Amino acid sequence: MSSHAICIMFSLHIILILLSGACKAAAAPNINQTTDTEDQEALLCIKSHLSTSKPAGALTTWGNSSLHFCRWQGVVCRYRWRHGLMAPRVTTLRLEEEGLAGKIPPCISNLTNLEHIHLPVNELSGSVPPELGQLRRLVYVNLSFNALSSMIPAELASCSRLSPPNLRHEEKQS
């Protein structure tokens, strides 16, 4: 739990860290994409909790059934192993200046492969959901220029993977 304390230090201009990778969701053969609806449902859940002042904005593509969810605007996927198959998983949400309003819903934590959350310059309000702390791969959160309350939940343990238990082991051994 002590590693969580580090994360509290992060301001709402929250930041970090890895260079964002390019979308790897391009067509790949021999992949069973039919089994994986969890990420799609999470995206639709997020959409259902947000409104947008841009009628033709990125969110209009969310839910278009003729587009794979990895093609929805602002969504970046990478292939990950899942149930013995490579499946495209959402790794980045990038919706800057989309007129998004509302609270970031807890169901964002169902995007379990999320690494980058880039939602600056919107009108998001309320607090950051503590469920974000369940996202173990999260390395970058940019929520600057929103109307969020200033408290960062202690559960936002996105940094926990930066100090993995193994590291402590190695320190002891030396």
Ligand X SMILES: *[C@@H]1O[C@H](CO)[C@@H](O)[C@H](O)[C@H]1NC(C)=O
Least gap, CB of 144 to ligand X (angstroms): 5
Place of tokens 């030396």: 174
Least gap, CB of 65 to ligand X (angstroms): 8
DSSP string of 147-168, one letter each residue = EE-SPPPTT--GGGGGS-HHHH
Give 32 or 163: the residue with its C-beta nearer to ligand X: 32
Give 78 or 134: the residue with its C-beta nearer to ligand X: 134
Interface contacts to ligand X, rule CB under 6 A: 15, 32, 34-35, 41, 64, 66-67, 96, 106-107, 109-110, 120-121, 131, 142, 144
Place of tokens 């590693």: 3
Q: Locate 87 and state its tokens.
A: 């499946």
Least gap, CB of 131 to ligand X (angstroms): 5
Q: Which residues lie closer than 8 Å to 55 by C-beta, 6 or more apart?
A: none
Give 92 or 110: the residue with its C-beta nearer to ligand X: 110
Q: Which residues lie closer than 8 Å to 115 by C-beta, 6 or more apart?
A: 18, 20, 91, 92, 137, 138, 139, 140
Least gap, CB of 123 to ligand X (angstroms): 14
